[in-house]
A and B are shown apart, each in its own frame.
Chain A
Amino acid sequence: ILNVEQSPQSLHVQEGDSTNFTCSFPSSNFYALHWYRWETAKSPEALFVMTLNGDEKKKGRISATLNTKEGYSYLYIKGSQPEDSATYLCALFILTGGGNKLTFGTGTQLKVEL
């Protein structure tokens, strides 16, 4: 069983705080890691696809880094705003004979308070 672990499970921060959370995965046979943002009652939306060790990607105030040798990725949010409140999911791309797929972590639930 392939485990994709995310920590912390939940996080409460104040508006303006910067925050980060972690996605850990097995480092062998790495192909790609996906980050998604999922607001309550909406569809999960893709943030980043990361494929190379040392990758750093940025979208506005959100950025992500990747370390494939040690098997982790960090997601950073700078100057959190209430609209950043959501669950952030990471997913590991798995290559299988039966069809490629994404294996998801349980997510980090972020609440940004005024």
Chain B
Amino acid sequence: ETGVTQTPRHLVMGMTNKKSLKCEQHLGHNAMYWYKQSAKKPLELMFVYSLEERVENNSVPSRFSPECPNSSHLFLHLHTLQPEDSALYLCASSQEPGLAEGDTQYFGPGTRLTVL
């Protein structure tokens, strides 16, 4: 395993629900990331946290709200999602506070989200 865990692995929610995805890394890394993968599309970077501060927000709708309470945990809070938000959501971490060119990202297994 990569040392990055995600819960839940599968989530089905209605458009009016509020839910949260959780990511935990056991590697002592300083940066964490949320990615989205929709069918037949490449991994899209959503959010980057470096030393628990958000440094990148790739124009993600406000119905997705990230939280990084400490360097080991990352959450993605979801509310009033749309069916087109159904996708695989992957968390990753890397050692350096700002991703260096040779720095590997370590990924979790993802949460498969279905919005009805």
Complex: how many Å from CA A48 to CA B51?
26
Q: Which of B13-21, B42-50, B78-86 contacts A (4 or more CB under 8 A)?
A: B42-50
Chain A 58-93 interface residues, beta-carbon cutoff 8 Å to B? 89, 91, 93
With A43-B2, A105-B42, A106-B41 as contacts: A99 and B98 at CB distance below 8 Å? yes
Chain A residues whose C-beta falls within 8 Å of the C-beta of B101 in the assembled complex: 31-32, 49, 51, 93, 95, 100
Decide: A106 and B105 in contact? CB cutoff 8 A: no
Q: B100 within 8 Å of A by Cβ?
A: yes
Q: A4 within 8 Å of B by Cβ?
A: yes
Decide: B40 and A102 in contact? CB cutoff 8 A: no
Number of residues on chain A facing chain B (CB within 8 A): 27
Inter-chain contact total with CB atoms closer than 8 Å:
63
Closest to A45 in B: B2
Interface of chain B, helix or strand or loop or mixed? loop
Decide: A102 and B106 in contact? CB cutoff 8 A: no
Decide: B4 and A101 in contact? CB cutoff 8 A: no
Chain B residues whose C-beta falls within 8 Å of the C-beta of A32 in the assembled complex: 101-102
With A32-B101, A99-B99 as contacts: A43 and B43 at CB distance below 8 Å? no
Distance of A16 from chain B, by nearest CB (Å)? 29
Closest to B50 in A: A99
Chain B 86-103 interface residues, beta-carbon cutoff 8 Å to A? 90, 98-102
Chain B residues whose C-beta falls within 8 Å of the C-beta of A107 in the assembled complex: 42
Decide: B56 and A106 in contact? CB cutoff 8 A: no
Which of B45, B107, B108 is close to A101, meaning CB atoms less than 8 Å apart? B45
Chain B residues whose C-beta falls within 8 Å of the C-beta of A34 in the assembled complex: 104-105
Distance of B89 from chain A, by nearest CB (Å)? 13
Which of A42, A100, A104 is close to B99, meaning CB atoms less than 8 Å apart? A100
Chain A residues whose C-beta falls within 8 Å of the C-beta of B55 in the assembled complex: 98-99
- For A31, A102, A104, the residue with the greatest tally of chain B CB atoms inside 10 Å of its CB is A102
Binding site for A on B (CB under 8 A): 1-2, 4, 40-43, 45, 48, 50, 55-56, 90, 98-102, 104-110
Give me the 3 closest cross-chain CB pairs, A-B, nearest first. Answer: A32-B101, A99-B56, A104-B43
